[in-house]
Structures are given as structure tokens and as C-alpha cells.
Amino acid sequence: AHVLRTEGNVPHIYAADRDDLARAHGFVVARDRFFTLDLARRLAQGKVSALLGDAALGTDLQSRHTGMTYVTEQLLAALTEAEGRRFDAFAAGINAYIEKVRAGMLEPPSELRLAALLFGRRPVDMMEPFARRDVVAMGATFLYQSGYETEDVGRGRASAGLPGMFTGQALADLRRAGVRPDIFERIAQPAASHSAGGWGLETGGAMPSGLDRLPTPPRREQPAQRRPRNLTTPAAPPASMRVPSAMLEELAAKLERIETRLHRVEGFGSNAWAVMGRHTRDGAALLAADGHLPLTIPTLFYQIGLDTKLLGDGDIRQVGIALPLLPYVAMGTNGRVAWGFTQLGGDITDWYREELVLDASGRPSGTRFRGEVRPLTVTEETVGVANVPALMSVG
């Protein structure tokens, strides 16, 4: 493999095959961003305390309680053989950088040089080797940053607060009477027409294979004024099933702290734009994509070029932007096709209330389900805490 850095210090990697490419990729990213990689893998596995001491213990417990370790294991088990080899090679490249630092051939990360003054430890002693699981864990950290959503809890809290809304305001009773059926629980199609006719949405059928066979929906004249249809408002759950408002408040506050730690981006606005060549000055098509990700120092993005054509017989020739945590170009071009991504917030988290049953010593022993007590499965985990006297942490 050969690495060429441009004037902007952007590495372009030329390798004989995909595995050599991933190995060199891991090396150059570690040389520039080792501390970012290290924190990302520790965060997903609940191992930040092993570096920073008990000041990070709450973060580690939070990571494990929210299932980051569990998701890491699921992703690890789902890797294909080729993906596993690439992740192994990426980890081997990171480890090659660690060995260069250990041998005194390269400088350690600036963050660890600063930490060494505070912790009284050599930088290289804080640089633990990477394995396939660590690479997967970094992906899990990004997954949580971009996809961990808590909107259902926030809506639940808002719903619980509806009866007390508008106190002291004009027409308070009228507003309170209408806010739930007219706004909060009004689930209706915004327009009578739609743009997906013939795609199986009406009947659940299969999507046709050709656009040319799409039926044209008949045009219907819409009346000038249209009254909304009568909607069946879903019945409120019985009082015994409702989550107490104090519990919702406590959970919402906890989740807000988690999202703050993950630097979650809120709100809408992620988008992508494409411009055809006939509309540009030089005839080249343009693609712009907004990943809608948090602004961090250092940035989540990493410019890079990847190539297996020049030194091998591969089919990779890409330039663009990678996430430093994974050996792929997230947004870029191969000279023929350009690609990007946007951040679409999906409703991917389900929340439920659980009633625990305690044993004689006060420890949870079961959960009640349809009147029957089901036993709990106990999982024990160990959190390693570093000895950092400067931070008053006892290992």
C-alpha cells in the first residue's frame, strides 16, 4: 500500500486489495484521530472509566443500561465473513499505529500527551489495542448518536400535561376541550390524493417492477370547501395502565441527559440536492447532501481517497468523506456515481411500562405479565475503574 497526502493533508490510499486498503485506512485514521476512536469504542462498551476513572462511571452505567453493549454484540454477530475481514484489517492498522508510538517512531496523540501530565501515566500505556469488536462498537456509538430517539416519552409527558394547559389564558376551557381530539389525537391523511398510486400501498400488494406499468390515478375534482371527516378518537387507556406523570418526568429528564451526552441533533432539515449538468457552468453534475449530524471537535467527518485499481486489480476508486469510525466512504464519488446521505429520524425505539416483583430481600425477582409473574434473567457485568489520583479516582 502507498499513502499520498495532498496539500490539505488529505490521505489518498493506494492498495493491492480491500483488506490492505482497510489496514492502511485504519493506520492513517488512528494517526490523526486515535483519541476519537478510543472514546467511541469505550462509550459503546461502557469502558470509559477504565481510562478516566470513576468520574466516567455514570456514563458507563448509562451506556450499559441503554443497551449499547447489547447492540454491539448483535452487530458483531451479524457481520458477514468479508465484513469481518475488513474490520479485522482496520483494527490491525490502528494497532500498527500504536506499535509505532510504542517504538518511538511516531508521536502519540496530542490528547494523551496532555492527559499524561495530569494522570502521571505514559501516553502509550493508555493506548490499548483494537479488535474487531472495538470497530463494531464504534459503529454502535454512531448508531446511537444518529438513531437513539425518545420522542414517544416526550409526547407521553406532553399528553399527561394536557389537562393543565392554558391555565389563566383566554378561552382556557374551550382550548382544553379541543386540544386532545382536535390536535393531539387527530390522526388523518393530510390530503385526499397521494403520489404513490399503484405501488401496492392501497392493497398491500407487491411493487411493480417497471415505472411504465404504473396506473395513472384518476383525477378527481375537489370541492371548494371540504369539511373534515368525523374521526374516531382512540380511547384513553384505563387509569391502571397509565404511566404516572412523575415517572414520565423522571424518565424524560434522564433521556435528555443521555441525548446531550450523545450530541443528538434535534429538529428537521436534513436534505439532499442534485443539479443536472446542463444547469451548471462547466457541465458537471452537482450533488449536495446534508448528513444533519452534530458539530464536534474534531469533526465527525474525515476526508480520504481509496483506490485498489492502481496497485491491484480491484474496482475501488473513491474520494470523499468517511466517518473516522468505520472503513467506508460515507459521501463521495467514484468518478461515475456520486452518493450522499441524509439523517432521517425514525421511530425505532419502543417504550413500555413494566411492573417488577421484589423478593424478601427487596431485589427484583420477576415481572408481572397478564397476571402471571415471570422470572427475571440476571446478567452480571464488571466495570473496570482506573486509578487516577489527580481526579480522586481509586481504581
Residues 6+ apart with CB under 8 A from 57: 49, 383, 385
Sign of CA dihedral 4, 10, 16, 19: positive
Distance CA 89, CA 87 (A): 5
Give the pLDDT of residue 159. Answer: 82
Give the pLDDT of residue 197. Answer: 57
**Interior angle at CA 140, CA 134 and CA 142, nearest 5:** 115
Give the residues of the chain that fall short of pLDDT 50. Answer: 200-234
Distance CA 319, CA 309 (A): 13
Q: Are 390 and 116 in contact (CB under 8 A)?
A: no
- Coil/strand/helix, residue 34: helix
Distance CA 162, CA 156 (A): 10
Give the pLDDT of residue 239. Answer: 65
Distance CA 156, CA 149 (A): 14
Give the pLDDT of residue 236. Answer: 58
Residues 6+ apart with CB under 8 A from 50: 42, 384, 385, 386
Q: Which residue has the cell 385526499?
A: 192
Radius of gyration of the chain (CA): 27
Distance CA 262, CA 260 (A): 5
Give the pLDDT of residue 353. Answer: 82
The DSSP output letter for 202 is T
Q: Phi and psi dihedrals of 378, rounded to 5?
A: -90, 130
* CA nearest to 22, candidates 260, 328, 378, 340: 328
User: pLDDT tens digits, residue range 330-361?
Assistant: 999 999 999 998 876 667 777 888 889 999 99
* CA nearest to 374, candidates 349, 354, 360: 354
Give the pLDDT of residue 270. Answer: 75
Give the pLDDT of residue 358. Answer: 95
Give the pLDDT of residue 47. Answer: 96
Task: Indicate the residue type of 50.
Answer: A
- Coil/strand/helix, residue 301: coil
Prior bond to 298 cis, omega within 30? Answer: yes
pTM for this model (two decimals): 0.80
Strand partners, 243: none
